[in-house]
Amino acid sequence: MWIRSSIPVSTHGLETLDAESLARDFRSCVDALPSPRVPLVRPIRREFSRRVSSAQPEQVLQFAERLIDLDLRIWA
pLDDT digits 0-9 by tens, 2-37: 444 443 444 444 567 889 999 999 999 998 999 888
Domain range for 27: 19-69
Burial label for 76, CB within 10 Å (0-12, 13-18, 19+), is: exposed
Has residue 12 been placed in a domain? no
Cα separation of 42 and 33, whole Å?
12
Per the structure, how many domains does the chain have? 1
Quick check: is 9 in a domain? no
Residue with the bigger pLDDT between 15 and 46: it is 46
Helix (H) or strand (E) holding 43: helix 38-52
- The answer to whether position 65 is within a domain reads yes
Least reliable range by pLDDT among 7-11, 15-19, 54-58, 61-65:
7-11
What is the rounded CA–CA span in Å between residue 63 and residue 76? 21
- Answer yes or no: is 51 within a domain: yes
Do 48 and 26 contact (CB within 8 A), yes or no? Answer: yes
Does residue 7 sit within a domain? no
